[in-house]
Amino acid sequence: MNAPTKPPRADVEILTLGCRLNAYESEAMRALAGEAALSNAVIVNTCAVTGEAVRQARQAIRRARRERPDAEIIVTGCAAQIDPQSFAAMPEVTRVIGNAEKMRAESFAHAHERVAVADIMAVRETASHLIDGFAERTRVYVQIQNGCDHRCTFCIIPYGRGNSRSSPAGDVVEQIRRLADNGVPEVVLTGVDLTSWGADLPGQPKLGALVARILKLVPDLPMLRLSSLDAIEMDDQLFELVTQSHRIAPYLHLSLQHGDDMILKRMKRRHSRAEAIELCQRVKQARPEIALGADLIAGFPTETDGHFENLLSIVNECGLAYVHAFPFSPREGTPAARMPQLERRTIKERAAELREVGATALNRHLNAWVGREATALIERAGLARLPDFTSVRISPSSQEEGAGGWGEAQPFDDLDITAPRSSSKDLASPHPPPPPLAGRGMKLRFTAHDGQHLIGAAA
């Protein structure tokens, strides 16, 4: 692990699209760019999960050139890894670097080849980078794993990230201890296929063993959060910790993708509908306050009306609070792109209906919070988040009260709950001053919601 000593320059901006892992890597690149003395540059960290994500990356590049006509535009991330020449052909782009190259300081030196993208499948290790925090100062993503050994028929990401490889447990613990010592209230473990962590390490430890080690060796960390999990790979120790430890956030985001067994088989997923439902029910039974979210895809090739009904119904069967609904988007080079496709109109209609079901589920979740009190983590002015990932808008009257205009703050480890889960320019430039009490806990009473956020007042 390396600890950069040179701070990044103010004229280096990072535009982050896509997943939490990209967010972590953007923060590492911020420090690496400082080591390389990079100046007057915009780094675009792209996503390739859908065709729309690639389109947005191109838009971001063109916008960056308009806003910074004299800056060097460096494009990286999964879309650049998969199709580097198409980005190199854009007149706005100065250089293209791959996903492995972007984690090395020398890649950001000005004197470098225009396209530097190696074979990602040849990468066998995950480089660890020490970071002290994130621009938002509330929660920090820590990479524990990269790549994926599975080949879901719709997914292009293994070709952008390579095969699965794990960060050593000692490196992960050291990183999290460093963050806890700097007062970070919440750490999110992230990766491409999080539950595959350890399979390539000596003894093949499971994710549950790593989580247990973190909780034991970093006792000053108030809250540990897990990013997206593969439902079929949740080991027994991880299940026990998630359902029994108050230091693990009561929120799980599951990579379900669909609710019909035939579509799951055609997706080459490794769980069945019944297994997904059974896991969700077990988790909720063991820890009733936990909230569940999931990725779901509407309009997958060959999806019939009956298949789609099974997709909609799994939202309620699994007791989901958050639904990340994707319209199916064929990615060239994947098996799903060669399957019989649905009409785009049908896909859009089904995705809209899935979002409506998701909105109903979120409303049900928010309704259950109204009239209760809990400590929420302040993220920025007027906005906080509960441990179960529920977003909270703080009423203006509460913001006007108390120290710094935020009412009475509480340490975030005081997580009492009284009963009756992106493009980011903020990750790009030097850390802005945090809002008053950002990263601190605030006891709130929830009086209403707006369909997306709870409305909270100082309790």
pLDDT higher than 80, residue 300 = yes
Tell me the fold of 370-458: OB fold (Dihydrolipoamide Acetyltransferase, E2P) (2.40.50)
pLDDT higher than 60, residue 202 = yes
C-alpha span between 433 and 136 (Å, rounded): 9
Per residue in 32-54, pLDDT tens? 888 888 889 999 999 988 888 88
Positive/negative CA dihedral, 341, 344, 350, 355: positive
C-alpha span between 46 and 293 (Å, rounded): 24
CATH no. for 12-118: 3.40.50.12160
Give the per-residue SS3 of 258-308: CCCHHHHHHHCCCCCHHHHHHHHHHHHHHCCCCEEEEEEEECCCCCCHHHH
Choose among 444, 399, 395: nearest CA to 417.
444
Q: 137: alpha, beta or left, given left = phi > 0 and alpha = psi -120 to 50? A: left
Residue 424 DSSP symbol: B
pLDDT higher than 70, residue 72 = yes
Q: Are 75 and 93 contacting, i.e. CB atoms less than 8 angstroms apart?
A: yes
Neighbours of 448 (CB within 10 A): 16
pLDDT band at 357 (very low <50, low <70, confident <90, very high): very high
Q: What is the pLDDT of residue 307?
A: 98
Q: What is the pLDDT of residue 112?
A: 64
Which value, to the nearest 10 degrees, does the dihedral of the CA atoms of residues 361, 366, 371, 376 take? 140
DSSP for 352-402, please give it.
HHHHHHHHHHHHHHHHHHTT-EEEEEEEETTEEE-TT--EEEEPHHHHTSS
C-alpha span between 315 and 322 (Å, rounded): 9
Whose tokens are 């799951």? That residue is 264
Per residue in 94-114, pLDDT tens? 999 888 888 888 888 866 688
Q: What is the pLDDT of residue 397?
A: 65
pLDDT higher than 80, residue 171 = yes
The mean pLDDT of the chain is 85
Q: Give percent of the chain above pLDDT 90.
A: 57
Per residue in 388-405, pLDDT tens? 999 999 987 655 443 333
Which value, to the nearest 10 degrees, does the dihedral of the CA atoms of residues 130, 135, 136, 141 take? -30
pLDDT higher than 50, residue 372 = yes
Q: What angle do CA 91, 93, 96 make, to 5 degrees?
A: 135
C-alpha span between 410 and 429 (Å, rounded): 29
Element holding 449 (H helix, E strand) = strand 441-449
Which CA distances in Å does 200 have to 142, 169, 196, 233, 260?
19, 12, 9, 15, 32
Q: Give percent of the chain above pLDDT 70.
A: 84
Q: What is the pLDDT of residue 355?
A: 97
Segments of the chain assigned to CATH 3.80.30.20: 139-368
CATH no. for 139-368: 3.80.30.20
The residue length of the chain stands at: 459
pLDDT higher than 80, residue 136 = no
Segments of the chain assigned to CATH 3.40.50.12160: 12-118
Q: Are 146 and 191 contacting, i.e. CB atoms less than 8 angstroms apart?
A: yes
Whose tokens are 């079901």? That residue is 357
